[in-house]
Amino acid sequence: MQLKGIFLLLSLGAFTSYYVYQPIPDKIEERWKLMLTDCFFRSLSHLADFSELLGLKDYMGVMMFITFAERVVPVSDQRVHVTEELFDGVEVVVYQPKLQGGDTELRRAVIYLHGGGWCLGSARMGPYDLLARQMVIDLNSVVVSVEYRLAPEHHFPVPYEDVYRVVKHFLQRVVLAQYTVDPGRIAVSGDSAGGNLAAAVSQQLQQDPEQHLQLKVQALLYPVLQALDLNTPSYQQNQNMPILPRTLMVRFWSEYFTSDKTFFRAMMTNTHNSPESAALLKFVNWSAFLPESYRGKYNYSAPVVALSAGGAGSDGPSRSIADPRASPLLVPDAALRSLPKAYVLTCEYDVLRDDGVMYAARLRRAGVEVTHEHYASGFHGALMFTVWPTDFLIGRTMTENFIKWLQHNL
């Protein structure tokens, strides 16, 4: 009996070690902490798959546990005044410095867009609340954190349209005066899917003939910028990397556009392009835009064009992936030239690395001033891992450098 107990204990230990352990590059700091963190994410993902298979709850509905677990109630403190408001019908959380007597100085403003693959996340999550407060204090700025609606309940272009409405509303002189904001010192920023939305809004504002006030800077933090080629070197190199493996990123893209699982399967095999989107592949040809150091051992092969890529058609998802509001990397050079100064953060161990690297390269070629900050030991989502027990040194470093850039450029 005692031997059986020892055997079961050893078996359980071996299984746990096998499940928790995942090969992680030596360059990544705090590797065991990342393994344990990722173990939670993988367990939740497996539970979500099982739940969807049994018809209990859809995958993203289960994954929303991450959002609920980290949700906080944004409240004012001694230094930051917090209000929850509606900007043109869209929920926002507004963070402002507490006014001192006689203080009438115009302030910077940052419109911040949270990440989460357009399907998860919230402006009311602890890490975003903490980041907003830090920007208020360090920049003496107003921060507008946007609670845009999420897929799959609200497919593209709803999340983008929510964000665009907020930005247009805020960029009215009467609204800026209400918050004591300098019209010439406004930024839009976001991480991951939020970086996608920030890039898209920056582009579309420049093309809006009714928009007179413009953004001063855009800050894109490990942004996702294109859905045409999901086999770039970074997608291949980091396909099993913690936090955001390729399968999850492809699922985010698929759910953003449609609930049709055939499109997800087409995206997984990189055969989701229609003739319409294929005409834009030249803008994401990584053999032309990626420096050799990022190409590694990989050789370019153009994605296959499928005439029936899971719902392709005049209103299908294959049409949506060609829309620059979803894939900002697809705009021609002429549309890039008038864009505001940019900060682009990328991480070596991130499937989205090459999206950011290519966008930074194309912005530079178009004459836009760009700061590209690449973290050789970085992984996706690190900026949000700043709260115990998942606080990482690299997350704090990224936050400090990001805010420092805003101090000097906004």
For residues 310, 295, 222, 396, the Cα torsion angle rounded to the nearest 10 degrees is 150
Q: Examine the residue annotation and report whether 192 is marked as an active-site residue of this protein.
A: yes
Residue 342 CB neighbours (<10 A): 23
* Annotated active-site residue in 129, 229, 350, 355: 350
Q: Examine the residue annotation and report whether 380 is marked as an active-site residue of this protein.
A: yes
Q: Which amino acid is at 103?
A: D
* Annotated active-site residue in 114, 155, 272, 380: 380
* Annotated active-site residue in 192, 202, 234, 320: 192
Q: Examine the residue annotation and report whether 374 is marked as an active-site residue of this protein.
A: no
Contact of 350 with 321, CB cutoff 8 Å:
no
Give how far Cα 219 sits from Cα of 121, 247, 352, Å: 19, 26, 16
Question: Which residues have a catalytic role annotated?
Answer: 192, 350, 380
